[in-house]
Every structure is written in structure tokens, then in C-alpha cells.
Structure 1
Amino acid sequence: MTRTVARLIGDALSQLGVRQVFGVVGDALNPLTEAVRTTEDVEWVGCRHEETAAFAASAQSQLSGNLGVCMGTVGPGSIHLLNGLYDAAKSRTPVLAIAGQVPVTDMGSDYFQEVDNDALFSDVAVFHATISSPDQLPQLLETAVRNALGHKGVAVLTVPGDISDRRLSTDRKARFSLSPGVTRPEESAVRSAAGLLRRAERVTLLVGQGARAAREDVLALADRLAAPMVLTLKAKEGFEGDNNPFQVGQTGLIGNPAAASAMQDADTLLLLGTDFPYREWYPDGRTVIQVDTEATHIGRRVPVEAGLVGDVGATVRDLLRVLGSGEARDRKHLDHARERFESWRDGQARLADPKHDKGAVGRIRSALDNPEDGVRPEALAATVDRVAADNAVFTSDTGMATVWLSRFVEMRGTRRLLGSYNLGSMANAMPHALGAQYLDRERQVIAFCGDGGLSMLLGDLMTLKTGNLPVKLVVFDNRRLGMVKLEQEQAGLPEFGTLLDNPDFAAVATAMGITGIRVTDPAELDESVRRALSTPGPVLLDVLTNPDEIAIPAEPTLAQGWGFAVAKVKEVVRSHREPDSG
């Protein structure tokens, strides 16, 4: 007997190695969720919000390299998937979204909850289609999956409510064979780029996520060129740590002075597997060589002298072959960048010491920016880094939580890192952690949550509780939208609209059946972090951090400093004008 549409899809997910499907049940999905329920090695994870489902699927795909899958039912259910799907699309990771739809006979009639899914998902998806007949399967499903995997993007398959339980006209199984090829640039392009590198006196590498699989080749090239290695945030995983003697951290707003000067002091920049978008952080007038698998990425951020379209590993190996051993290069540029980086790291370590504010310098600093003696977010991030396992998975909310993670958490060992670093969405850390923990319940998963981000999708704490997932949520509770506050003040504007009237998040977690721990005293920090990370099951660590902490950019400008001073004056004036509410 032939199978139904829903049964074919359930069997195909098992065949693809999909282990979880995330979503919220609904009438149009009922045959599909039943197919998942009755598929032995595929688990249905019911979320409280479809956005969480899409974020979780994106996280699984990024960690595993496999297809992530989520579902949303008719109309609002599918709409709610959209933000998490944009996260997957901007992260260039394969996700299949199955969206419910009204019955075929009612499509186009402005039926209850009807939404044009093909129009809705047209921007986010590399492939989207609506099944109008069972005869379109399995080919349409095969096409959707191959597009998601081949283009590393989102595919959306819309299934009307009266299609899922209809039988196919064939018993053929879906076939998904797809063998990705390795591309490399032409020899003439490699020789031209190698010639530029030979003539260069000071080369700096800007290394991105696209180079992670070629770590040893990239290290060999850095050694051959005596080049400091500036990392994008996504390249922390794979290139950070003491066993990389070339890395000098990140540039940009979350970066450090050593990385910024390594870029500025170079006469030649070599971009490897990165589409770093912030044009203002690229120095002018440098020779730029870029290696990327996507031809459309070449030169779109900064003018490029030589663009090499190809796999980073294969291309770097070709460059090393053409460069040969050559003469030993002057290492002053590298040594200077590394010395400055180590000096900066030492200073950051002092700031992150929970006892810093008790010293002479610390007391002066604290009187100015932390008069209530709140926990320093630097200290919180550094303490988690020190206590966490060397194979932990870290996720971070967009905003200040990512700043503190980028500066104080080292991706040593086999640690992994996830965040909405291209889309820049709020509320991603907890859903990403949820998806990551379902992949491996034994692996430590730690989410750096902003208080604003966590409260957006707070309901899905219950998904952690229901699944008994041992995710550790570390909440940077500064009662602010901290990044927005900083942006306003750097522009000379007084803080406005950023204040958050937060509950006691630890008490909320406890009420939901999750272990909640609240920290208000810096002296309690170390013991509380250790207890949170060692307690079985899900834990929420709510740490009241200093709301006035300042993350100084890698190269602070006079305008930023002046703007901050003006903003502080305006805030003081406004506070004196406001009536006493006590």
C-alpha cells in the first residue's frame, strides 16, 4: 500500500538523520506531527513559540552541519517562524521549514488564517513551494532539501491541511544524495596574489568562519607571512587559544586596540573566509586580497586588488605551494601586535577580577561608574569562562552579552559558539541553547542571556523544563537594553526607553520548576557560578550586573567620548528635573 504525504515526510526526515523537529502543533500539521510521533528515531519538540522552534533548528544545523527542521501551522504559526528562519539564512545554515496551509480548495479565498506562504518566505528562502497534489512528491521534497543543503540556506515547503493525509501514487522513497565539491581559483589568480604577498612588508590576516575547517593551513600561512591574525567573532571558535601564536583577537566595536592597530599598521590585508561587514573598520589605501567561496562576497566591503574564489583550505594550500619556503620574513609587525594584545589581555584580566573594585584604582573607578557595587559583567563572563568545561557550547544574546563573551570567554578545547551574529536578533541565546542541548544531553550548554532578550521568549523556559534539558542560563541582568543605552550615550543622547522593569528571574525560574539562583553581591559570584554549572537539570543564574558598565571600542574616537560626556550631563539634568517619586 502506498504511503501518505505525511508518512513520506516522516520517513525522509529519519533517512536524513534529523533527530528533532521543533514547532507548535496545529490543525493543518496534525497528520505531519502524527508521522513524527510514529517515526522511531525522530522526536517532536513542542515549543511555546514558533520563533524558538526556528532558532533551535538553526542551532542544530550550525552545530551538526546537518539539516535542521521546524514546523509552523496555518497563518500566524508560520509567520512566527520567520525571525528564526532569517537567523538561519543569515548564518548560511541548512534548515527545512514545513508550513501549514488552508485546504487547497480554499486557497486564494481569503480563508480564515490564510497567508500566502510563498510570498511570505520569498526573501528568506533559497527555495519555497506549496504542495498542491500528492503526485508532486517525493520530487518536490527532494528539491527542497537539496536546495537547503546545497545553498546552505532555508527551504520552505508548504503543506495544505487536506494534502498531508492523502496517499501518493508511487511508493518510491525520497533520495537526497548530494556530494559538495571543493572549488579552487585558477593558477594565474593564485600566482598574482602570491606576488602581492611576496612584495608586502607587513601582512595582516582577517580570518572568518569560512576558514575554520582549514585551521592548520591558515596557521602555516600566518607563519610563512609573519602575519598577525585578526579574528571575526565567528572565528573565535577554531582559532582562539594559547596554541595559536598569531591571533590578536577581534576588531570592530567589540574588538581590542591590538587588532585594530594590526589592521591599520599593515600594508596588505589578506581576508580569509570572511564577509566582515563593518566598512569603517577597514583601513584605507591598503592592498587587499580576499579568498571566499562566494564570488558575490569579493570586494563588497572593501576594494580588492586580488579576489580568489574558492575553498579557503584548498586556496591557502595553493598559496603556500607558490610562495615556497622563501626568505625568512621580518617578524616585527607580528611581534608588536602580539605584545600589544597580551598587554591588553592582562589589563582586561585585572578588570574582570571580582576583587578589583576593592583596590585603590578600583575604588576610584567604582565611585564613578558602579556606586551601588553591582557585579561587573566582565567578572561574570570571566568566571564562567574559568569554570566552564573545555567542550562547552556557548550561545549569546545580541548586545552586551555578546560583548562580554567575545572579550572574556576563550573558545579553547572543543568549545562551540552560536549567536545571531549576522542577523543581530534579540532573544536567540536561550532557543539556540535549547536546540544545542537536544543534540547532546551530556554536553555542557551555557547561554549568555541579556535580560531584554530572555524576557522576549520567556515562555520557552517551560520547554527546557518539560524536556529536562540541563541548559545553564546566565542572565546579565542590568535592567537595561544595554547596547542601545551605550549607542545613545555615544551619540550624545540621554538614555531613553531602555529601562526594563524586570522581575526576579531566578524566582520566575523557580516557579516554573527550574533551579533559580540570584546573585547581587560580587563576593558570591564564584561560588554561585560553580553551583549553577554543577547542578543537574536546567538552571537560571540571575546576576544583577552594573548597568553603567562601559565597553570601550577598539579605537574610541573623540566624538564618541564627547558624546558620552554630553549624554551624562543631559541625564543628570533630567534626573534633577523629574519630581520625587518616593
Structure 2
Amino acid sequence: MADTVADYLLQRLRDWEIDQVFGYPGDGINGLVAAFGKADNSPRFVQARHEEMAAFEAVGYAKFSGRVAVCMATSGPGAIHLLNGLYDAKLDHTPVVAIVGQAARSSMGSSYQQEVDLHALFKDVASEYLVDVTVSEQLPNALDRAIRTAEATRSPTALIIPNDLQEEPYSAPGHAFKEVPSSPPGTSWGRVVPRDEDLRAAAEVINAGSKVAILVGQGARAAARQVVDLAEATGAGVAKALLGKDVLPDDLPFVTGSIGLLGTRPSYELMRDCDTLIMIGSNFPYSQFLPEPGQARGVQIDIDGRFIGMRYPTEVNLVGDSLSTLEALLPLINRAEDRSWRTKVEKNVTDWWETVHNEALTEADPINPMRIVSELSERIPDNAIVTADSGSSTNWYARNLKIRGEIRSSLSGTLATMGPGVPYAIGAKFAHPDRPVIALVGDGAMQMNGLAELITLAKYHELWSDPRCVVCVFHNNDLNQVTWELRAMGGQPKFEESQVLPDVDYAGFARSLGLTAISVDDPEQLGAAWDTALKSDRPAVLDVRCDPEVPPIPPHATFDQMKATAASLLKGDPDALHVMLQGTKTKLQEFVPGKRAK
């Protein structure tokens, strides 16, 4: 029998097979911290450097394990710090439970130190389930519901536990009025399949098409084989939303790659020319990158009816899990005998990868950032996990990284917040301690919080059977994505006071922590540097100085965007000449395939 409420909470987490809690201590959770000590640190308390990083680590763990993750913070400022990571979980539909402390019940409402209205603070981010635990008898049901709701809705939930309650003796709920029991941990989730008549209606739309396009998101991951079978039957090309980048490997000749602003030319062409669109497990928000309304007939498959039929005027909306729905749908699909559409898609994909290869080899000052990812693609282990941060480096992750084998990857897709690259990698290592992890991170994100989380990486890496975790820093001393957004969207020149970053020796900092540290400023050294990092017996930091003026030009760049960029340069952009030179050399590869620009 648990002695205190905090002891019981940890026991219940163990019953749920929660192996670690990502957090940071404080007196608002002193009772919980003491319980970890009494329980011989089971589950393991993983100490981040900041509560926001603890939340990101939980998101990374949940994304790559497929299980609920738990983060923990003290009252007041600690709880506030969790919010950005929890919003990342909410917007990317990731199950995370936050456990936060609160001021003692006897002081509530008195403007006591660190007393914050946590219900007001969390009511949006944890809208699916948020509860104050005020008596011990309430705890089993509250914790179990938080975990089950996070699982069922793929969202963050939160428990608020006053610090004095944590230290009180635990008393189980009784068989009495106003006391509510709970069932043992564990849940069996059934599969959801649409009605037969709806499946037949979807098949009619798909069978009538001659130019079929499939768009997959993260919700299609469990149905990868069925997506391939559907593409083979219909002769479709398959584009991938950014969160679905790892659903299918890029060595399949009909996989067109990412879609959207960070997407590829063949994905743009697929949507531009198709007559039928099948969306599977994706809530891709940018409808301007989908077919024109009325151009294509549409079918959408999604487990959550709240997010269906809202991006494109689809004729048939199938609410069900992707695997079961596709298994039921495939027998109704006729094989397309005319393969001319598939032939065109595959040629576009082949031409695109040749273009990407040549763009990556285009000379820059000192290193072309595309080449960083292209060199990784040539040598990345088939079981690697890749995390990406938000910034210009995300462009190269989206376009240049070839998924193959069992590679998994993710990033902050919908919130697109800076800073999760390194903590996601740490969460991934706790989820899969036997797999190598690579984080692709801009220097802005490293300065924001990645440097501090290298300390966490150094602290815990000896727990992992495969200690490899490579943090690759795109070192260009510029908040580069915003710089390009200023130019291309705002028609404004680079404002150096806001955009230029202080120069930092990232490899030097890593070396001071005992990590493998590699600095690269010569493109010919890049492949060998990746080899060294990927063979290291400990986490490694790859500090690559790259050119900030290699433009992340979308393959579908509009005239207005190019006009705005040119106007910004004419307004006195400090790097105007270099920008124009690199942009010309890069874009040239799309028009003259096979020609390497110098």
C-alpha cells in the first residue's frame, strides 16, 4: 500500500508501464520528488534543463514510441514553461500527460508565492482533460482518465496537484456516494471501419479516375503497405505531408516526396495535374497546394471526424483508422491498365532527384546546406531516427533527406516552433535506446535552447545501448528562415540587428561536455565528418559552417514571391549580390538537369 498520495501516483504510473517522467524539480512538487527517491527512481525522473524542454522530450518520446509520455513541473513558473511543448503536442496530435504542482490548498486565493490560476493557463492546451486533484480519493480516476484521454484523443491532458496533498497519506476511494473508483490500467483499442456503402462510394470515385494522387500524413503510418497496394492498383503517385515524411520510403519510384512550401516539384506537379485525390491520415492545412476546387474528385480517410472534409471538397469522407479502412477498400479497387500517368509521375521523380543531387553539389561559401543533408542521406543507417528543428534547415530535411528502410523522422509540424530538435532526439533515445538518432538543427535553435540540452544528452547517454546521437548544427550565424521570409513574402531586405546571430563554437561547447565534437568548413570534408559522427561511441556534435544565402526556393515559386525578393534586394539588402548569385546557380539546376553549377 502506498504511504502518501505522491507514492501512490508513482505506483499508478508504474502500473501503466510509464518508464520515465521528463521534468524539472521545484518546491511545488517536493512531495513527488521525494516519492521518486523512495521508489529508487522508478519510473526514472529525466531531468531536463528547462520545463519546456521536458515537454518537448515527452513529445519526442510519444511520437517515436507510439505511447503516452509524461512530463512534470512545479507550480507557477514551471507550469508556465511547459506550455509551448504541450501546444506542440496538441497541434501534432501527440498523447502527453502533464503533472503540475500547485500552491498549498490552505493558501489558495491569497496571492501566495508562485500561485497561478493553472486552470485558466491550461484550459486551452489541455482542453480534452484538465482536473485539479484536491483529495487523495480522487487520484486513481483522475490519473487513469488523463492517460486514457490522452491515448483516445491523441492530445495533451493535465493533472494539477497541490503540494500539500502530495505529502498526505493516501486513501483509496470507497464504495460510497461522491467517491469514484477506477479500473486497472490498460486499454484495448478497437479498429474503426466505415460502412460498406461508404466504402463502395469511395471505390466508385477512385475507380473512375485516370490520374490519381495520394496524400499521406502521419495517420497513415500503420497502413504503409496498404498505401503501396492502393498506389500500385491505381497507378497513383504518393505525396507526403511533412509529418508523414517517414510513412513511405523515398526509394519507391512513385513517391514524390514532401508537399507544400517545403515540398518538391513532383509533388507540386502531382497535385496540379491529377483528376482524383485520396487523402489518408493527413490534416495538411495548406489548401493552395492541393488541386484546384473542381479539378479533382476526392476521398479522405481519417480516424477523427472533426478533421475530415475541411481542406478540400471531398465527395466521400471515410471516418476510420487507415489500416482497417484501406484493407476493406482495396478489394473494391480496380487495377488501372493505363499506366501512362504512373510513367509520367516516375519520370518527374527521377528528374527531381537528379536536380536535388546537382543543387546540393552547387558551390557555396563555405558549404552548401543542401549538401549537409545529401551527404547524410548517402550514409544514414536504415534504422535511424531523425529529428528536425524549425528554420531554413527544415527545407533541406524536407527535400534532401531520403527515407529508406525503417528510418523514422519527425519535427514540430503544425506549431512549427523553434527548439524541439535536440529534446525530441533525447525523447527518441529513451523510446529507442538501441537506435541511432540524428538531430538537424539551425544555429538559432541551438542558441535558443539546444546548447543547454546538450548537457542533458551528456548526462544520460550511458543509459542507452546504442549511444549514437548526432546533433548537426547548420552554422550560418543568421536566423535564416525569417530572413528569407522577409525577402520573399515581405519584400524587405535583411535587417541585420534582428537576424544576425553571435558566432558560437558549438563543437567547442560539446567538447567541454565530453561529447565527440567535429567542426567542418570544407565541403570535401563533410562526408568523412558524417562517417566519424555516425561511428562515435558517444553523442556527437557536427558543427558545419554553411552559406546563409543559398535560397530555399520552392519549386513552385510564384512570380509575386520572386518579384518581392528582387525588390527586397534592391532596397539595400546587405548580401544582395551573393543572394542573386546563389539563387541563379541553384535555380539553374531545375532547368538544366545534369549540369553542375560552380
TM-score > 0.5, shorter chain as reference? yes
Q: Is the 8 A contact 1:145 1:176 kept in 2?
A: no
Match of 2:453 in 1: 460
Match of 2:141 in 1: 139
Cα deviation 1:459-492 (Å, max 9, x = unaligned):
2221112223642110001111111111111132
Structure 2 counterparts to residues 307-456 of structure 1, below 5 A: 307-323=317-333, 326=334, 328-353=336-361, 356-357=362-363, 370=364, 373-456=365-448
Match of 1:259 in 2: 267
Structure 2 counterparts to residues 131-530 of structure 1, below 5 A: 131-170=133-172, 175-242=184-251, 244-284=252-292, 285=294, 286-323=296-333, 326=334, 328-353=336-361, 356-357=362-363, 370=364, 373-457=365-449, 458-468=451-461, 470=467, 471-491=469-489, 492-496=491-495, 497-530=498-531
Counterpart secondary structure, 2:474: strand
Uncovered stretches (5+) of structure 2, i.e. residues with no partner: 174-180, 578-598
Q: What is the distance in 2 between the residues matched to 1:394 and 1:305?
A: 36
Counterpart secondary structure, 1:17: coil
Q: Is the 8 A contact 1:12 1:174 kept in 2?
A: no
Counterpart secondary structure, 2:553: coil
Q: What is the distance in 1 between the residues matched to 2:576 and 2:187?
A: 63
The amino acid that maps onto 1:445 is V
Cα deviation 1:55-92 (Å, max 9, x = unaligned):
00111111112121111101001110111111111221
Match of 1:361 in 2: none
Displacement after TM superposition at 1:15 (Å): 1.6
Displacement after TM superposition at 1:105 (Å): 1.0
The amino acid that maps onto 2:494 is E
Cα deviation 1:506-541 (Å, max 9, x = unaligned):
122223333322111222212222222222222211
Q: What is the distance in 2 between the residues matched to 1:520 and 1:296?
A: 49
Cα deviation 1:554-578 (Å, max 9, x = unaligned):
31111111111111222358999xx
Counterpart secondary structure, 1:483: helix
Counterpart secondary structure, 2:441: strand
The amino acid that maps onto 1:409 is L
Say if 1:245 and 1:521 are closer, same or farther in 2 by CA, change over 3 A: closer
Say if 1:330 and 1:574 are closer, same or farther in 2 by CA, change over 3 A: closer
The amino acid that maps onto 1:436 is A
Q: What is the distance in 1 between the residues matched to 2:335 and 2:402?
A: 34
Displacement after TM superposition at 1:214 (Å): 0.9
Displacement after TM superposition at 1:397 (Å): 0.4
Q: Is the 8 A contact 1:351 1:378 kept in 2?
A: yes
Uncovered stretches (5+) of structure 1, i.e. residues with no partner: 358-369, 577-582
| Bigger mean CA offset, 409-418 vs 422-431 | 409-418
Q: What is the distance in 2 between the residues matched to 1:282 and 1:514?
A: 44
Displacement after TM superposition at 1:272 (Å): 1.0
Match of 1:364 in 2: none
Q: What is the distance in 2 between the residues matched to 1:196 and 1:141?
A: 45
Counterpart secondary structure, 1:170: coil
Q: What is the distance in 1 between the residues matched to 2:410 and 2:210?
A: 36
Q: Is the 8 A contact 2:253 2:349 kept in 1?
A: no
The amino acid that maps onto 1:487 is E
Match of 1:124 in 2: 125
Q: What is the distance in 2 between the residues matched to 1:328 and 1:541?
A: 48
The amino acid that maps onto 1:473 is V
Structure 2 counterparts to residues 29-44 of structure 1, below 5 A: 29-39=29-39, 41-44=42-45
Q: What is the distance in 2 between the residues matched to 1:134 and 1:443?
A: 40
The amino acid that maps onto 1:57 is A
Q: What is the distance in 1 between the residues matched to 2:571 and 2:376?
A: 36
Q: What is the distance in 1 between the residues matched to 2:219 and 2:557?
A: 29
Counterpart secondary structure, 1:313: helix
Percent sequence identity over aligned pairs: 36
Match of 1:23 in 2: 23
Structure 2 counterparts to residues 547-558 of structure 1, below 5 A: 547-558=548-559
Say if 1:331 and 1:513 are closer, same or farther in 2 by CA, change over 3 A: same
CA RMSD of aligned residues (A): 1.9
Match of 1:69 in 2: 70
Match of 1:535 in 2: 536
Q: What is the distance in 1 between the residues matched to 2:182 and 2:204?
A: 52
Match of 1:11 in 2: 11
Q: TM-score, normalised by structure 2?
A: 0.90
Counterpart secondary structure, 2:310: coil
Q: Is the 8 A contact 1:252 1:554 kept in 2?
A: no
Q: What is the distance in 1 between the residues matched to 2:435 and 2:557?
A: 39
Say if 1:418 and 1:328 are closer, same or farther in 2 by CA, change over 3 A: closer
Say if 1:37 and 1:410 are closer, same or farther in 2 by CA, change over 3 A: farther
Q: What is the distance in 2 between the residues matched to 1:208 and 1:572?
A: 38
Match of 1:82 in 2: 83
Q: Is the 8 A contact 1:205 1:227 kept in 2?
A: yes
Q: What is the distance in 2 between the residues matched to 1:245 and 1:468?
A: 38
The amino acid that maps onto 2:458 is K
The amino acid that maps onto 1:189 is D
Say if 1:468 and 1:190 are closer, same or farther in 2 by CA, change over 3 A: closer
Q: What is the distance in 1 between the residues matched to 2:421 and 2:382?
A: 19
Q: What is the distance in 2 between the residues matched to 1:173 and 1:428?
A: 35
Match of 1:362 in 2: none
Q: TM-score, normalised by structure 1?
A: 0.92
Counterpart secondary structure, 2:556: coil
Cα deviation 1:348-374 (Å, max 9, x = unaligned):
112223xx43xxxxxxxxxxxx4xx31
The amino acid that maps onto 1:203 is V
| Bigger mean CA offset, 265-274 vs 328-337 | 328-337
Q: What is the distance in 1 between the residues matched to 2:482 and 2:403?
A: 27
Say if 1:48 and 1:174 are closer, same or farther in 2 by CA, change over 3 A: farther
Counterpart secondary structure, 1:239: coil
Say if 1:573 and 1:516 are closer, same or farther in 2 by CA, change over 3 A: closer
Q: Is the 8 A contact 1:8 1:173 kept in 2?
A: no
Q: What is the distance in 1 between the residues matched to 2:427 and 2:37?
A: 18
Cα deviation 1:372-427 (Å, max 9, x = unaligned):
x3111111111122222111111010122221112221221111112111210101
Aligned residues: 557
Q: Is the 8 A contact 1:200 1:267 kept in 2?
A: yes
Counterpart secondary structure, 2:329: helix
| Bigger mean CA offset, 300-309 vs 443-452 | 300-309
Displacement after TM superposition at 1:137 (Å): 2.3
Displacement after TM superposition at 1:549 (Å): 0.7
Say if 1:183 and 1:320 are closer, same or farther in 2 by CA, change over 3 A: same
Cα deviation 1:243-299 (Å, max 9, x = unaligned):
x34211122111111111111111111111111101111121221211111112122
Match of 1:566 in 2: 567
Q: What is the distance in 1 between the residues matched to 2:111 and 2:183?
A: 33
Counterpart secondary structure, 2:157: strand
Counterpart secondary structure, 1:248: strand
